[in-house]
Amino acid sequence: MPSITFGESTFDTQDDETVLDALLRNGHEIANGCRAGVCQSCLLIAKEVALPANATSGLSDSQKAIGAFKSCCVVPSTDIEVQSADGAIESHKATIVEKTSLNDAVIRVRLQSDVNYRAGQYVSLQNDAKLMRSYSIASVSGTDKYLEFHIRRYPNGQFSNWIYSAASIGSELILQGPSGTCFYTPTDAPSNLLMLASGTGLAPMHGIIRDALLQQHQGNIHLIIAAKTSDDFYYVDELKTLSDENSNFSFERVALQSTDADIKQADIYEHIRSDYTQLKGYRVYICGGENFVKKLKKQCFLAGANMQDIFSDSFLSFTPN
């Protein structure tokens, strides 16, 4: 009988049992529901195996790309190694190689590390004092020789204040991850991408857009960045260069209060509701605060985008204790 390796344990399967049943029989707690391939409660990640199509049907392309599958749908025919859907948490060493201010409140930090990731995923960063926070990666793996993060300074934010003040070039961090399924995957047919970002949601978004362009995405890529005032935007020159160099990429900025003719003064939700009424067949990426993501997810879904084509990453507000 083929064997299953899960974390530290390896055991043989019995008869025709599924991966889920075998894990449960061996005392592992795996969430599950319908056991019929519908509810997606029992997702696991498989390492380097070809999975039958019914084990991944209904999953998004990025879930498929990291090896996610419905464990109730697979009866292994060869040995298989699986891990929980959050992925194995691997630790890497990282060193700060650059710190640059992007605007009054956001700093760009670049790290040297050998972690493998996809642009748009996130990692946890931990400093010497064991303070740990999650940040989205803004760089593109393989192309950029560093990992990039955009860190907003919060008045009481211990980690962000540490980065701003105490951390310096050469400071070491422990990096854990990566995690997340908000990243670009090539599409079979050319599809249009709508990218919505607020605040430092631009970090993962900038990475995802560059990744899509490097992978020669066919179809248009349109980015909308939302902010309160016209002073809140950053990376505008970088984005202008990107749109000059790529005819299928465009971007616009929307602010509640704007003094700049280039920046549309509008409420982002109103703007999207009135100008983006037909999103059938679109892939939508949404990165920003929790409310921003939730509201726009619903709006884009109602405008016709399918849930499995909406990729999002929201920053949970962290209350210091």
- Residues 251-280 close enough to bind other proteins by CB under 8 A: none
The yes or no reply on residue 39 touching other proteins (CB under 8 A) is yes
Residue from 17, 37, 154, 174 binding other proteins (CB under 8 A): 37
What's the min distance (Å) between Cβ of 74 and other proteins? 13
What's the min distance (Å) between Cβ of 313 and other proteins? 14
Please say whether the beta carbons of 310 and 284 come within 8 A. Answer: yes
Residue from 58, 142, 186, 190 binding other proteins (CB under 8 A): 58
What's the min distance (Å) between Cβ of 32 and other proteins? 11
Structure tokens of 38? 């519908």
Range in contact with other proteins (rule: CB under 8 A) among 30-38, 89-97, 106-114, 242-250? 30-38
Q: How many residues bind other proteins (CB under 8 A)?
A: 20
Q: 310: which residues sit within 8 A by CB, 6+ positions away?
A: 283, 284, 285, 286, 297, 300, 301
The yes or no reply on residue 161 touching other proteins (CB under 8 A) is no
Structure tokens of 237? 């020159």
The yes or no reply on residue 35 touching other proteins (CB under 8 A) is yes
Inter-helix orientation angle 290-302/268-275, to 10°: 10
Nearer to other proteins, 180 or 207 (CB): 180
Site string for other proteins, 94-133 (x = CB under 8 A): ----------------------------------------
Q: Tell me which residue of 21, 34, 19 sits closest to 75, measured CA to CA.
A: 19
Nearer to other proteins, 228 or 298 (CB): 298
What's the min distance (Å) between Cβ of 230 and other proteins? 30
Please say whether the beta carbons of 226 and 268 come within 8 A. Answer: yes
Nearer to other proteins, 150 or 297 (CB): 297
Q: 190: which residues sit within 8 A by CB, 6+ positions away?
A: 217, 218, 219
Residue from 2, 33, 142, 186 binding other proteins (CB under 8 A): 33
Q: Are strands 122-126 and 80-84 parallel, antiparallel or unpaired?
A: unpaired
Range in contact with other proteins (rule: CB under 8 A) among 37-45, 88-96, 230-238, 271-279? 37-45
Range in contact with other proteins (rule: CB under 8 A) among 39-47, 97-105, 208-216, 250-258? 39-47
Nearer to other proteins, 130 or 280 (CB): 280
What's the min distance (Å) between Cβ of 73 and other proteins? 8
Inter-helix orientation angle 202-214/236-245, to 10°: 20
- Residues 280-299 close enough to bind other proteins by CB under 8 A: 294, 297-298
Range in contact with other proteins (rule: CB under 8 A) among 52-60, 75-83, 197-205, 259-267? 52-60
Q: 164: which residues sit within 8 A by CB, 6+ positions away?
A: 107, 151, 153
State the residue for tokens 């949404």.
286
State the residue for tokens 């509810």.
39
Query: What is the Cα–Cα distance from 55 to 147, expressed in whole angstroms?
Result: 33
Tell me how crowded residue 214 is: count the other CB atoms within 10 A of its CB: 13
Residue from 134, 230, 306, 314 binding other proteins (CB under 8 A): 306
Please say whether the beta carbons of 35 and 75 come within 8 A. Answer: no
Structure tokens of 1? 């009988």
State how far the alpha carbon of 251 is from the alpha carbons of 8, 224, 237, 279, in Å: 47, 6, 12, 17
The footprint of other proteins (CB under 8 A) covers 33-41, 54, 57-58, 294, 297-298, 301-302, 304, 306-307
